[in-house]
Amino acid sequence: MKDISEMVSLAEEDALFREEYEVEIESVSSYLDELELEMAFSGEYDSRNAILAIHAGAGGTESQDWAEMLQRMYLRWAERRGYLTEILDTSPGDEAGIKSSTISITGEYVFGFLKSEHGVHRLVRLSPFDADHARHTSFVLIEVLPEAESGVDITIEPDEVKIDTFRSSGPGGQHMQKTSSAVRVTHLPTGLVVTCQSERSQHQNKDIALTILQSRLLNIEMAKLAEERTKLKGDRVLAGWGNQIRSYVLHPYKMVKDHRTDYQSNNPDAVLDGDLDGLITAYLRSIVGKQ
């Protein structure tokens, strides 16, 4: 900054210095942006991997198709950033799309970035499933959980869980259909239920289900702490389907708007293809502003 201030007077006299001055300004600006994001990653679990869960809302095929569109969006976003992804469990839709999906995303600060996506996502478009081609509104709930460290964050005792096996109902080949490889884990103290049927091995599905369960229990603890802090602050927390965090409008105009930051993009096709960085960065900057 000291160098730049000295360049200002030189730039007024010489156009060559003006070019150098502009380059330095851009460099400092980029560095400040990086520092700002680092401040947003001050949460205890921000540096961890994440488990992203997708749940189609009311609306049948429309919402299930929207859920699959969002799954593709997050997989493409992760691919752009060089993150590793694995679909841990998925429930196919009745006619199209998916009813739910659970994805593991591995990389640096995945949870820190994706915590911006937790909430209800709303789609407005002309329905490809409606004979009248009418405009429909669909809702999907996105959950983002930090990956729990087994035995460190959450300990699950054997007598706290009930484990059932059943035949896989989704696609996966003849083997998965004939054997009871799918696993359902019920956490008795909380009533949480996690299923996994993505792997051929019952043992693998059990391990994955327990991993997801640990992350869900950790998320509950995080929510309790957040609620206690909120009560101390006196803020009112709004939650529910009516309070979507983001709207994706494909008709009658094209726009993606985040209702928490007012950030807008006029290119929903790019956003749905994984170009989420503008939306995510705007949210992270808003967090820094509140700290």
CA gap 104, 194 in Å, rounded:
14
Query: Average of pLDDT values for 104-110?
Result: 95
The model's pTM is: 0.79
| CATH number for 168 | 3.30.160.20
233: pLDDT strictly greater than 70: no
Of 290, 291, 281, give the one whose Cα is nearest residue 37.
Answer: 281
pLDDT in tens, 58-71: 778 999 999 999 99
Number of domains in the chain: 3
The percent of residues in the chain predicted with pLDDT above 70, rounded, is 88
Does residue 152 belong to any structural domain of this protein?
Answer: no
* Lowest mean pLDDT segment, chosen from 20-34, 80-94, 129-143: 20-34
| CATH number for 122 | 3.30.70.1660
The conformation of residue 137, written as its DSSP 8-state character, comes to E
Residues 31 and 116 in one domain: no
Tokens of 233: 């602050």
Range of the domain at 215: 158-231
Higher pLDDT, 179 or 284: 284
Determine the pLDDT at residue 29: 84
Does residue 236 belong to any structural domain of this protein?
Answer: no
Contact 209, 197 (CB under 8 A): no
What is the arrangement of strands in the sheet containing 135-146, beginning at the earlier edge strand?
84-92, 98-106, 50-56, 135-146, 119-126, 246-249, 255-258, 264-265
Distance of CA 253 to the CA centre of its chain: 25
Q: Average model confidence (pLDDT) for the chain?
A: 85
Does residue 181 belong to any structural domain of this protein?
Answer: yes
Residue with tokens 């995945």: 110
Higher pLDDT, 196 or 234: 196
Determine the pLDDT at residue 172: 46
Residues 29 and 168 in one domain: no
Query: pLDDT grade, residue 237 (50/70/90)?
Result: very low
Determine the pLDDT at residue 167: 78
pLDDT in tens, 139-151: 999 999 999 886 6
33: pLDDT strictly greater than 60: yes
